[in-house]
Structure 1
Amino acid sequence: MMRSMFSGVTGLRNHQIKMDVIGNNIANVNTVGFKKSRVIFQDTLSQTMRGASSPQGNRAGTNPMQVGLGMTIASIDTIHSPTSAESTGNMTDMAIEGDGYFILKGDGIDQYYTRAGNFGFDEHGNLNSNGLMVLGWQDKENYMVPNDKSPQSIDTIQIRKGMMIPAEATTEVKFDKNLNAETPVGESYSLPFKVYDSLGCAHNLSIVLTKTAANEWEYRITHADGTETDLGGNTGTISFDGSGSGKYDSATGGPLTLNLSNGAANISLTIDFSNVTQYAKETNIDMTYQNGYAAGTLTGITTDTSGVITGIFDNGHSRQLAQVAIANFDNPAGLIKAGRNTYRYSNNSGEPQIGESGTGGRGTIAPGYLEMSNVDLSEEFTQMIITQRGFQANSRIITASDEMLQELVNIKR
């Protein structure tokens, strides 16, 4: 009789724990990246009243007689099932489509792992989540994605608001499109273009192209005002295929040099006419490429599916500034919940397998999205009813056992 009471107590205790887990699931129905838990019950030891016996002669075998001593919790599992993501439009928000976890760094050397990608930048430009800094790959001296993307080289990501990229001097200029083959000899066309020095100062130049023969043009490069002071290698010729195909053949002259007095390094650049043609169509020659630019200030960022954060600068250029790392585990269910939507690895989760998203079984990143909770309210409410009824049934066991004990006590009266 006392056994039934103790069994009821185990039922009450463990159904209460299951209700606690259900309550936590429901409380986190709108928590970003939350993974629900489930409780699995199992019975405890049984008291053997009679052992089993084997058949002997004309006597049949008998099964064991055992009385159970209640139940206990077999496991409380974290269910890492995939769920949908919601769009936020914020480029620092990220969701993982597939397996994997973002890597965060706390105080000291501890690493945490999360599915919640609600990231932002702090005052010093650190990409962080709730005070924990996001880890990835970044060359902080040059603000670019490094070639070394080994697991050992991951570090915090820092992108300061208003950061600048240095100017780059022009070293190559390319011209494209057409020079009219019907242009009379001696007629000229001019085209303005711009190059940059090592300080980012723009220098306005002009190229004058004069037809000197059927398949030959002469070019002369000057400053925008027509002067040639401080210019070198600024004249040459462009020749086209003599067979009449109108295709570029060769060019002479260059490299163009600018001897500067503004403190910048002198400019030396090559001029490429290989894509210029000479057909009987209007002249529309244009400069299609030059690789110099002024210094630029960061105005925005974008993120791609591989976790590369690209900075957009006001000089019209962009640069890959950093890349977010992803960790995967052989047994995600073995991770330990550490609060703040984070996990820590355990002996049963396996070591983190760190790498780029989209590689090694790791999922891809969806920028501008956040992963929703995988809690299903209909399932949780169903489990709540089942758990409540289980709790009530176990309380009835205790009540009924108490009444039976009361009857025993009353026998001596």
Structure 2
Amino acid sequence: MGISSSLNAGVSGLNANANKLATISDNIANSQTTGYKRADVDFSSLAVSDNSTPNTIGGGRWFTAGGVRTSAVWDIEQKGQLATTSNSTDIAISGRGLLPVTSIASVDDTGQEMPLMLTSTGSFDTDANGYLRTSSGLTLLGWAANADGTIPDYPRDASSGLTPVKVNMSSVASDPTSKIELKVNLPADETHVGSDGTVRTATTEYFDNLGASQTMSFEFTPTVPTSGTGSNTWTLNIVDQATGVSAGSYQVVFNNTSTNPGQVLSVTQLSGGTSPASSTFDATTGKISMNLGDQAISVDIGIPGGQTNLTQLTSAFNQTSITSDGVGAGTFSGLTIDENGILSAVYSTGYSRPIYQIPVADVPNMDGLTVLDNQSFAISRASGPLYLWDSGSGPAGSIQGYSLEQSTTDIADELTQLIQTQRAYSSNAKIIQTVDEMLQETTNLKR
């Protein structure tokens, strides 16, 4: 029994070390494969019971060698170093988590259910149909944004809300103006007796709902007294040059005391505007809310009684700063992804519009995931259930654009293990050779 069991143990040792050699070979072969997770072999002993052996410690007459068995393991949770690239949609995760993907074959076949797969990194690019995918066919999944760029609430413990990321590369988009900040200094001496009452006009560009460039005029007319000191009062008339009608007029009185001198003291509405335009002033926010019929714009002039955007000082008329948001119509020029996982379409005007949010997938036991081709993985009973986190929240790491995760293979360590495995394989071969010689000696006893 001892000789034959020794032979079986030696054979199992050869098989075990051959498996170990296979993982080492795979690790070295994939040392330059982005997102590759190092494989290894777990050795465990195999005990064979012998009924003739008393079940007491040290009381057996024979030892039966069981040998060794192996099981393959992948260190999926281990993270490789992040390498910087020049492609904005080269995506990796700095920290724990994986990206949700599916196969392009299932996307193209509308009747096929799309399998959920996970990967740690990927060099994604748009294909002829606009899908964001890798060269190996992994298609990125995400939550689609609303038309205004907001992300709806989707289930976090299931993949039902995820859809393949598809980009309309021939799209044209604009961002209508919704805010204007008006900073103007009006000359104080023009509200004094004898002034000629010259109307001062400040203009700014804004973009309408169709992306066209329009002009908004702010006309300041001084109130000139016939006697006494200066009135410190101006009439502000807002004119939408697109329609040529007034969007409202206001009496603005400035402070001439030592407390907040030259700042707005009060604002009184004189006219609500000419249809279809209208406006109102909110003293608590210091903003004029304009409705141009099909577009709402807020004009910030400052809260009366404090530091305001409008001033009246003895100086020349000066448009200190007039800023507005919004951009005109532009064509699609590329994609960007930020640390929050928001994938945005970028247009030729510089306008950026969110189109998807890419979540970070996590499971309780990441090493329990089923290993698939192309550095991808699938949920299994051993891995535990899926949960989708916002990038950078909870235990999830942050999504990084212009980055790829490198292989977790350490060549020096693999070569060291290669030498050890070779020695172990040779030793097991020696066992078989020795058993062969012992059997030969037994055979020779009959001669």
Match among 289, 292, 295 for residue 329 of structure 2: 295
Q: Classify the secondary structure of the residue corresponding to 1:14.
A: helix
Asked if the contact 1:143–1:321 (Cα under 8 Å) also holds between the matched residues in 2, the reply is no
Equivalenced residues, count: 398
Mean Cα deviation higher: 332-341 or 247-256: 247-256
Q: Classify the secondary structure of the residue corresponding to 2:128.
A: coil
Match among 260, 267, 282 for residue 250 of structure 1: 267
Alignment partner of 1:6 is 2:8: yes
Q: Classify the secondary structure of the residue corresponding to 1:243.
A: coil
Alignment partner of 1:92 is 2:77: no
Asked if the contact 1:240–1:250 (Cα under 8 Å) also holds between the matched residues in 2, the reply is no
Alignment of 1:56-135 (within 5 A): 62-64=58-60, 67-79=63-75, 80-106=77-103, 107=106, 108-129=113-134, 130-135=136-141
How many angstroms apart in 1 are the aligned matches of 2:320 and 2:270?
Answer: 19
Asked if the contact 1:46–1:66 (Cα under 8 Å) also holds between the matched residues in 2, the reply is no
How many angstroms apart in 2 are the aligned matches of 1:347 and 1:132?
Answer: 23
TM-score (norm 2): 0.80
Q: Classify the secondary structure of the residue corresponding to 1:407.
A: helix
How many angstroms apart in 1 are the aligned matches of 2:402 and 2:410?
Answer: 24
Q: Report how far residue 66 of structure 1 moved.
A: 5.2
* Residues 58-91 of structure 1: CA deviation (Å, up to 9, x unaligned): xxx8544552424333432111312211000211
Alignment partner of 1:273 is 2:284: no
Q: Report how far residue 251 of structure 1 moved.
A: 4.5
TM-aligned CA distance change 1:38 to 1:66, over 3 Å? farther
Q: Classify the secondary structure of the residue corresponding to 2:151.
A: coil
Q: Report how far residue 120 of structure 1 moved.
A: 1.5
Mean Cα deviation higher: 393-402 or 280-289: 280-289
TM-aligned CA distance change 1:389 to 1:265, over 3 Å? same
Partner of 2:46: 44
One-letter code aligned to 1:354: L
Match among 217, 221, 227 for residue 210 of structure 1: 221
Partner of 1:56: none
Alignment of 1:4-403 (within 5 A): 4-48=6-50, 50-53=53-56, 62-64=58-60, 67-79=63-75, 80-106=77-103, 107=106, 108-129=113-134, 130-139=136-145, 142=147, 144-151=149-156, 152-166=160-174, 168=176, 170=177, 173-183=180-190, 185=195, 186-213=197-224, 214=230, 215-220=232-237, 230-233=244-247, 235-241=249-255, 243=257, 245-248=261-264, 249-253=266-270, 255=272, 271-274=299-302, 275-285=309-319, 288-291=322-325, 293-403=327-437
How many angstroms apart in 1 are the aligned matches of 2:353 and 2:271?
Answer: 30
One-letter code aligned to 1:46: V
Mean Cα deviation higher: 152-161 or 328-337: 152-161
One-letter code aligned to 2:301: F
* Residues 271-327 of structure 1: CA deviation (Å, up to 9, x unaligned): 543321223344322563445543332223322111111233233432222111111
Q: Classify the secondary structure of the residue corresponding to 1:153.
A: coil
TM-aligned CA distance change 1:303 to 1:10, over 3 Å? same
Asked if the contact 1:337–1:344 (Cα under 8 Å) also holds between the matched residues in 2, the reply is yes
One-letter code aligned to 1:112: M
Asked if the contact 2:126–2:133 (Cα under 8 Å) also holds between the matched residues in 1, the reply is yes
How many angstroms apart in 2 are the aligned matches of 1:102 and 1:149?
Answer: 16
One-letter code aligned to 1:119: F
One-letter code aligned to 2:257: S
How many angstroms apart in 1 are the aligned matches of 2:343 and 2:115?
Answer: 24
TM-score (norm 1): 0.86
Q: Which runs of 5+ in 1 are unaligned?
A: 54-60
Q: Classify the secondary structure of the residue corresponding to 1:179.
A: strand
Q: Classify the secondary structure of the residue corresponding to 1:17.
A: helix
How many angstroms apart in 2 are the aligned matches of 1:399 and 1:389?
Answer: 15
* Residues 97-131 of structure 1: CA deviation (Å, up to 9, x unaligned): 11111011232231101112221111222222332
TM-aligned CA distance change 1:402 to 1:290, over 3 Å? same
TM-aligned CA distance change 1:39 to 1:234, over 3 Å? same
Superposition RMSD on alpha carbons, in Å? Answer: 2.9
